[in-house]
Structure 1
Amino acid sequence: MSFAAQIKIPATYMRGGTSKGVFFKLDDLPERAQVAGQARDDLLLRVIGSPDPYGKQIDGMGGATSSTSKTVILSKSSQPDHDVDYLFGQVSIDKAFVDWSGNCGNLTAAVGSFAISNGLIDSARIPENGLCTVRIWQANIQKTIIAHVPVTNGEVQETGNFELDGVTFPAAEVQIEFLDPADDGEEGGSMFPTGNVFDELTVPDIGTFKVTMINAGIPTIFLNAEDIGYTGTELQDQINNDDAALKRFETIRAYGALKMGLISDISEAKSRQHTPKVAFVSPPKSYQSSSGKDVHETDVDLLVRALSMGKLHHAMMGTAAVAIGTAAAIPGTLVNLAAGGQDREAVRFGHPSGTLRVGAQATIENGQWVVQKAIMSRSARVLMEGWVRVPADCF
């Protein structure tokens, strides 16, 4: 009996923010995986090592968490005034599907670096020393993102002294601007899909909760921590080791997705795990982060915990940080109220690994809230580059 040999595909394994993923150039993929469809999904599943009933992704590049089960496909941009098209695939760990419904804000920090190093940026636009501005078209959500990538001696500068809570070692700072981060497309239709800065969400057999549902960065459902029995200081194990709590959060997420118009039937939530996110907020409190670092009440404006792919995130998703900063800038949202209720253009929030600052400016235009951009700083680094190998008959 003969078996198909393995093939090798050029790839780069990168950290961006508090996530890791496998990066590909579109034209390096096998021809049938260069277009969206089952072949592409099957290839990426095999690269990452999914579906894995053991939940470990031992036979692939994934790290068995939502933060490390990610793929990115990049190409020269098809859009005017943009440098690179960025397509993100969130790979399920234990199920055979890739979710293309949203962006990864953390890996966005690595997109500019990869694009510069892999010939996707016109060399005339790369300074010998300074910042290279990379204009990214985020293909999943049809939005523009600007990355300011440090360059030294004509090459991407990855080392530095910028520290990001949730990342062990310091690196070079990459500033990211998410332009017009609110969703104005078909899904949801506006920043606040119900037209309200807060609503009541009824979840059968669980309860009715005050929520802020927002489409900014990534569709997100915010709840008050105390309304669901938490303080807002929880760390990963307190949530992720509680199967009943995870099931309750998933049910809340599903009914929130329905109310946001992201799905038309509650059953569709199972095949849309990446969006929307669920997060809970509380006013500032002191706590000890997962690394043992003390976060003092006076260090932050509020606390936020968020779930990704059914588990509490170890830090904060970059796209969810955009949602937090946007909601904090708009009076009356649960995020704004948890932060004290005043007008603000930036917010520092506490998450399980420490703190993060994100800025956003909100204005009312024609009776609707509008946010021109949200800004945050991340870092990125190449971890390994070369080829990944997969069986030739896996896709």
Structure 2
Amino acid sequence: MTSDDQPGAAPAAPPRFGANYTPSQGWFHHWLDFDLDAVRRDLDAIAALGLDHVRVFPIWPYFQPNRTLIRPRAVEQLVALADAAAERGLDVNVDGLQGHLSSFDFLPAWTQTWHRRNLFTDPEVVSGQREYLRTLAAALADRPNFIGMTIGNEINQFAAGPHPDPDRITEAEAEAWLRQVLDACEEGAPGRLHLHAEYDAAWYQDDQPFTPAHAARLGAVTAVHSWVFNGTAQRHGRDGVATGQHAAYLIELSKAWALDPHRPVWLQEVGAPAPLIPAADAAAFTETTVAAALDCAGLWGVTWWCSHDVSRSLADFPELEYSLGLLTNDGEVKPGGAALARLAKEARAVAPAPRTTALVVDIGPDGGRRSACGPGGPVFEAFARLAGDGVRPAVVLAERVADAGHLAERGITEVVHPSDVL
């Protein structure tokens, strides 16, 4: 589904719990030396936590090294991984355009240097992307455990700074690209949960061409990626209210732009980054973050980043990337993993009470002042202040405050402005 007109279905209940699968052997380079037995061991460990799905990451240049070559063997290996997951009771979401992972960019040679073309607007590049996404989706379309496609991992980072060499586009061009690639996924696997996912610049960065409206209106669900190293933990500390509420804030912020008040939201990435969240505090951070997210209506699920730590034998990762796993590189359950396992086991199909107080976001009809929503901005800080005072705030756009029907459908009975709070 790609329409921004179609009402979303009520989310499955209880919320889904899963992990972003980072292979313990070779990280995502495992596709170059694919070992299905090693994958099975990893999936056994994930399933033992009581999780119900994984998000997996084909590496785009490994799968499509030439614009007109999608390697059949690589596609077969992806299907084998999905089948192994099914044997362990795990559903699978597939990210297509990798894209960007853990500070590394993976782009095919046919988009770079001598063949440099805009990733979002060049007709031949977009045609190649569409064929690739359609091929992956079609290969999995008959698998009952296939959730659907995510277009790519935080691909908006290629469209603006601080990327060192961005492919700059307009908001209109971003929307046109999203519609084309989402349609390709639907052509390959009709009726599955196809979506796109951006990092939080879409919500917080004024000049980011991928906008909150794109995130909240295109695709089958809204995806949010919550990382407190974005200034939140630096400003509020490891145990600050804003730090523990950051994921919930993004979920509620996303609802302000949704046309369907019941559109599901997927907390698709969230993790405990050291040293901002020390290892000794990872379990508490996990519990606080997930509990706050579960207090948001319409939560499709929580997918933790990530399943396994990155091996110290691999070089040049940012330090925090090595220790984000629910499991060690050897498959031992870490305290954060035990906490998520417990939360998954205890999750119930209980709809949260409506959030009757809504914080007003007034950043212009084009969202040009999104920085007001980021850490240190008045919207962000007002939400944190309200949450610290025991209020469960929703968020509403200024232009919808006078829409009584919209407020009633969301259960909102009171609106407050950041200036009323700070």
Same fold (TM over 0.5): no
Kindly indicate which of the two structures has a greater share of residues assigned to strand: 1
Kindly indicate which of the two structures has a greater share of residues assigned to helix: 2
